[in-house]
Amino acid sequence: NAGVTQTPKFQVLKTGQSMTLQCAQDMNHNSMYWYRQDPGMGLRLIYYSASEGTTDKGEVPNGYNVSRLNKREFSLRLESAAPSQTSVYFCASRSRQVSNQPQHFGDGTRLSIL
């Protein structure tokens, strides 16, 4: 029962470097999400994919890009990392894009930008 798997679990980057965070789910879910979690801010939605082949911006998309590679995988890319992007990143999936369905979360990627 893997659920939502995120890689890597930890990463340290220098300012200006690029990186792709990987996310895969094995629950045959249609919708996938990327959040960032910062102290005192709760979770903020970066991008989401309601279904395979579609992506949309969330609350804080600047500095990020995403790719819904297939139904299972949804990656988040930082093209030029900045210290303000130091955060814990969570990927989540949901069976369908309806309000009563919960989201299922991965264990997160802890990213530090120096």
Partner 1 sequence: GNSVTQMEGPVTLSEEAFLTINCTYTATGYPSLFWYVQYPGEGLQLLLKATKADDKGSNKGFEATYRKETTSFHLEKGSVQVSDSAVYFCALSTNSGGSNYKLTFGKGTLLTVNP
**Where do contacts with partner 1 occur on this chain (CB under 8 A)?**
4, 31, 33, 40-43, 45, 48, 50, 56, 58, 90, 92, 97-108
**Nearer of residues 31 and 85 to partner 1, judged by Cβ:** 31
Q: Which amino acid is at 35?
A: Y
**Nearer of residues 3 and 63 to partner 1, judged by Cβ:** 3
**Nearer of residues 42 and 53 to partner 1, judged by Cβ:** 42
Least distance CB 51 / partner 1 (angstroms): 12
Residue 62 C-beta-side C-alpha neighbours within 13 Å: 2
* CA-derived radius of gyration, the chain: 13
Written in H, E and C, the secondary structure of 49-106 is: ECCCCCCEECCCCCCEEEEECCCCEEEEEECCCCHHHCEEEEEEEECCCCCCCCCEEC
Least distance CB 64 / partner 1 (angstroms): 16
Least distance CB 80 / partner 1 (angstroms): 27
